[in-house]
Each structure stands twice: as structure tokens, then as C-alpha cells.
Amino acid sequence: MREIHRAVGLRSGDLIEHLLGVDRDPDGDEQLTAAHHALYATYFERLPALDEAGNLLRALAGRDWEIVLATSASGPELSALRGAIDADDVILGAASADDVDDGKPAPDPVRQAREPTGVRLLPVLREL
């Protein structure tokens, strides 16, 4: 379970490699990724947000925090997640796995989400 938890945030190809190993037969990777996307899409309309997630983002924005979202989810998955959170009124930018070449641990998703909006990094959230 620890290996799965550590893999959260990896792009699909990296996730498959992390969980199944480098020595696996990669011929099935695309099929596995497509199956995940198809299955997950059936839940888009009923994805629950964490309790009070939208209100938390609004409260932070009310304290002059600049809100951007960065995710390893695909573009359609990000849209569904944003719908569940229901806080687009305070979200200044977002980036999905579709927007970047490298995901976790690379800073690309965060950079892509914030740079077009001019959102500044806080000292504790600096790029590596």
C-alpha cells in the first residue's frame, strides 16, 4: 500500500512503471491507461469533493492567497474534479498531465499552473 500511496501524482506511464516494474511487458501500458480513463470517466458526474474543499479555497483566496491547481489527472479528469470542488470563482489557473511533459516529482505541473497567471511562489513552495 505504501508503494501505491507514493505513486499518487505520477503520470500514467510513470505510475504503471512504478507499480509493475521496469521489467514488465510495456505492450499493455496503453490499454491499461485507456481502461483507467474509461472506467474513471463513468464517475465524473458523481465525484465527491473533500468536505469543504471549495470553501477552504474561497477562505484562502479571501486572505489574498492565489489559488492554482496542479494535477497528474488528464484534462477531462481535471474538469470533473473542478466541477466537484465548485470553486472556479477563486481558481486562477490549472494544469493537468495533458499540459506538461513531466509530472511528479518534476515542478512542471505547478509551473504550468502558475506562470500564465503570474501567481508567485511562496518561500516554502519553491521550485526545485
Distance CA 78, CA 106 (A): 19
- State the amino acid at position 81 in one-letter form: L
68 touches 111 (CB < 8 A): no
Q: What is the pLDDT of residue 104?
A: 74
Q: What is the full per-residue pLDDT of the chain (128 aa) written as tens digits?
A: 787 787 777 878 888 888 888 998 999 999 988 998 899 999 999 999 999 999 999 999 999 999 999 988 889 999 999 999 999 999 999 999 899 888 777 888 888 888 888 887 766 555 55
- Name the CATH topology of 1-128: Rossmann fold (3.40.50)
Q: Is 76 helix (H, G, I), strand (E, B) or coil?
A: helix
pTM above threshold 0.75? yes
Every domain of the chain and the residues it spans: 1-128
Distance CA 113, CA 97 (A): 11
